[in-house]
Amino acid sequence: MADVHLPSALRPLFADLPRTVEVEAPTVLDAIDVLDRRWPGLRDRLCGEGPALRRHIHVYVDGERGDLATEVPPNARLEVIAAISGG
Amino acid sequence: MPKTVLLVGTRKGLLLLESDDRREWNLRGPLCESWPIYNAIIDVSGAIYAAAASEWLGSSVWRSGDLGETWTQSSKGLNYEGVHDEGLKLNKISSLASAHGKVFVGAESVGLFESTDDGTTFSLVSTLDGAPGREIWNDHAMQPPGHLGLSAILPFPDSPDHIRVIVQGTSTFDTTDGGKTWEPRNRGLRREWPPPPDEEVGFCVHKLAQSPDPDRWYQQNHVGMWRSDDGGMNWIEISEGLPTEFGFAAAAHPNDRETFYCIPLDPGHGRTMPDGQAAVWRTRDAGSSWQKLTNGLPGRDAYVGVLRDGMVRDEQDDFGLYFGTSTGQIFASLDEGDSWTELADYLPPIQSVRVATLA
Cβ contacts of B74 on chain A, cutoff 8 Å: 41, 44
Under an 8 A CB cutoff, do B55 and A85 touch? yes
Residue A85 pLDDT > 70: no
Any idea what DSSP says for residue A44? Answer: H
Is the pLDDT at B158 greater than 70? The verdict is yes
Is B75 an interface residue toward A (CB < 8 Å)?
yes
The model's pLDDT over B164-203, given as tens digits with 9 standing for 90+, comes to 999 999 999 999 999 999 999 999 999 998 888 888 999 9
Q: What is the largest CA-CA distance in chain A?
A: 38
The DSSP-derived string for B118-148 is: TTS--EEEE--TTSTTTTTTT-GGGSPTT--
B345 Cβ under 8 Å from any chain A Cβ: no
Answer whether A83 touches B (CB < 8 Å).
yes
What is the tens place of the pLDDT at every residue in B78-120? 999 988 766 799 999 999 999 999 999 999 999 999 999 999 9
B135: pLDDT strictly greater than 90: no
- DSSP SS3 for B33: helix
Q: Which of residues 27-66 of A touch B (CB under 8 A)?
A: 40-41, 44-46, 48-49, 54, 56-57
pLDDT at A87 over 90: no
Residue-wise pLDDT tens digits, A27-46: 999 999 999 999 999 999 99
Residues 12-51 of B with CB under 8 A from A: 33
What letters, b where the CB count within 10 A reaches 16 and e where it falls short, cover B12-34? bbbbbbbbeebeebeeebbbbbb
Best mutation site among A44, A47, A57, A81 for testing chain B: the one with the most B CBs within 10 Å? A44
**Which of B33, B74, B79 has its CB closest to that of A48?**
B79
Taking CA–CA distances from A15, the nearest residue in chain B reads: B72
Among the listed residues B103, B204, B122, B112, the one whose alpha carbon sits nearest the alpha carbon of residue B150: B112
Which residue(s) pair with B99 in the sheet? B102
Question: Rg of chain A's alpha carbons, rounded to an integer?
Answer: 12
Give the closest of B33, B76, B80 to A41, CB-based.
B76
Which three-class secondary structure state does DSSP give residue A45? helix
Which of B73, B74, B90 comes nearest A48 by C-beta? B90
pLDDT at B143: 76
| Angle at B172 (CA atoms; ends B171, B174), nearest 5 degrees | 135
**Is residue B141 helix, strand or coil?**
helix
- d(Cα B352, Cα B336) in Å, to the nearest integer? 20
pLDDT averaged over every residue in chain A: 95
